[in-house]
Amino acid sequence: MKTDYDMIIAGAGPTGATCAKILAEKGYCVLVIEKCKLPRYKSCSGMIIAKTAGLVKEYFGVEIPDIVKCTPYDNYGMIFVNDEGKEYKFEQRGFNVWRSSFDYFLLSKAKESGAEVIDGVSVIDCQNLDDYVEVTLSDKYKSVKRAKYLIDCEGAMGAIKRSLLNCKKNYVVTYQAFYEGKINLDPHYFYAYLQPAFSQYDAWFNVKDGMLVFGVAVEDISKIKEYNDNFIRYMRDSYGLSIYNKLKEEKWIMPRIRPDFHIDYGVGRVLFAGEVAGFLNPMGEGISCGMESGYCAAKALVENFQDAKMILTAYKQNSIEVKSYMQRQWNLVSLMSGKFKEMTL
Ligand SMILES: Cc1cc2nc3c(=O)[nH]c(=O)nc-3n(C[C@H](O)[C@H](O)[C@H](O)COP(=O)(O)OP(=O)(O)OC[C@H]3O[C@@H](n4cnc5c(N)ncnc54)[C@H](O)[C@@H]3O)c2cc1C
């Protein structure tokens, strides 16, 4: 394998895959480094909104194939219950996917365009130098790779970003439990609940391949059981939930984004994109803005390859629309929910 690249991309989620696809098809020498073995698992509701399906078509030139979907394939939108129990219904056609398959599918398209991929290896150090970036990998040789630019698409954990910006961890913990059972709710919708008894952020319900999935997000992990129990009790009382069997449970993290969010675009020769930069829409919809920010970063690189300073300016400029979409979404949630209202602009 080579040592020198035009761009190294850390992280093979939808953000990294989009960036890799756009840059590789323009002829740049691109290396994607992914911490997990591929296809990697990602805790996710797997709701692909119409906007995301459009971005897959626009950036990757293909429709989302059935093989990455789970049942019910079609998602009809979101039903949102605010902190006072008031219901809002947003109708919009989308899809229901397993993230391991969806993300791997996007990455396979980037590979077809020429991107190289190393999986099962992390970026453990990054030197952001005047003329290039040097990264050290976690393999047994502690291999070193160099590139003109690093695009950090590492998701919520943000270890590379924190080492470069010296900033603190900023995320909520998500807990999802998967059950066999039945409930009187239409499985084609995604349901989000903002009642304070169920979570410190939001709680949600959806159906994947016949499994009933209940999630809560918390800042204090000692509260997970209490919130989950309250949520399950509410779903029993309100929607006739019966549980036969618990199939699995998982904890993950998500950036703690609020209506007053801040985006970190990059520093020196490193650009941040997707969740690590701070892109996340309300109710944890992060695939669309991850892909869009990955595209905006790639476009800035293509148009200003020789000028690191201009790249950051161009990336920020290219991101005005995705940032404004995110702002509008958060403002809408603030108007509907007191939980977020105090942070409205
Ligand atoms: C419980 C839950 C439910 C969600 N539901 C939805 C949903 O229904 N719809 C939606 O649109 N969004 C959803 N999201 C949000 C969505 O998953 C994220 O916003 C999206 O995955 C962000 O994409 P990304 O590429 O920026 O990061 P990720 O998808 O997290 O990808 C980052 C990748 O970087 C790798 N990595 C990390 N550190 C390193 C390193 N040092 N070196 C190399 N690789 C590294 C990771 O292993 C990972 O594969 C959900 C999130 C959670 C937690």
| pLDDT single digits (tens) 283-293 | 999 999 999 99
If you measure from the C-alpha of residue 237 to the centroid of ligand 1, how many angstroms do you get, rounded to a whole number? Answer: 33
pLDDT in tens, 43-86: 999 999 999 999 999 999 999 999 999 999 999 999 999 999 99
* CA atoms of 193 and 67, how far apart (whole Å): 30
Measured in Å, residue 273 CA sits from the centre of ligand 1 at 11
Give the per-residue pLDDT at 340: 83
Nearest CA to ligand 1 atom 35: 11
Contacts of 111 (CB under 8 A, 6+ apart): 117
Q: How many angstroms is it from 233 CA to the middle of ligand 1? A: 30
Cα separation, 344 vs 57, whole angstroms: 34
- What does the pLDDT read at residue 1? 73
Could you identify the atom of ligand 1 that is nearest to the CA of residue 254? Answer: 53
On the question of pLDDT at 344 being above 80, the answer is no
Nearest Cα neighbor of 281 from 289, 269, 273 is 289
Fold assignment, 171-255: D-Amino Acid Oxidase; Chain A, domain 2 (3.30.9)
| pLDDT exceeds cutoff 60 at 222 | yes
The answer on pLDDT for 297 being more than 80 is: yes
High-pLDDT (> 90) share of the chain, %: 93
Above 70 in pLDDT, residue 212? yes
Query: Residue 258's pLDDT is what?
Result: 87
Q: Is the pLDDT of residue 325 over 70?
A: yes
Q: Is 165 exposed, middle or buried (0-12, 13-18, 19+ CB in 10 A)?
A: middle
Residue range 136-150: average pLDDT?
A: 98
Write the pLDDT tens digit of every residue in 229-283: 999 999 999 999 999 999 999 999 999 998 889 999 999 999 999 999 999 999 9
Given a cut of 60, whether residue 145 has pLDDT beyond it is yes
Fold of 4-73+95-169+257-341: FAD/NAD(P)-binding domain (3.50.50)
Q: Which residues pair with 133 in a beta bridge?
A: 128, 147
Average pLDDT score over residue span 120-132? 98
Q: Can you tell me the mean pLDDT for 171-189?
A: 97
In terms of Cβ atoms closer than 10 Å to its own Cβ (0-12, 13-18, 19+), residue 108 is middle
Q: Is the pLDDT of residue 342 over 80?
A: no
pLDDT of residue 341: 78
Ligand 1 center from residue 86 Cα (angstroms)? 30
pLDDT at position 134 is 98
Ligand 1 nearest-atom number relative to CA 36: 47
Q: Say what the pLDDT of residue 163 is.
A: 96
Give yes or no for a contact between 296 and 59, defined as CB atoms under 8 angstroms apart.
no
Instruction: Evaluate whether 100 touches 14 at the Cβ level (below 8 Å).
Output: no
Nearest CA to ligand 1 atom 33: 11
Tokens of 257: 């984004």
Hey, where are the domains in the chain?
4-73+95-169+257-341, 171-255
Ligand 1 proximal residues by C-beta, below 6 Å: 10-16, 33-36, 40, 42-47, 122-123, 153-155, 157, 159-160, 174, 176, 215, 252, 254, 274-275, 280, 284-287, 290
Enter the pTM of the model.
0.98
- What average pLDDT does this structure show over 324-331? 95
Instruction: Give the mean pLDDT of 13-35.
Output: 98
Average pLDDT over residues 302-315: 97
In the predicted model, is pLDDT for residue 345 greater than 60?
Answer: no
**Mean pLDDT, all residues of the chain:** 96
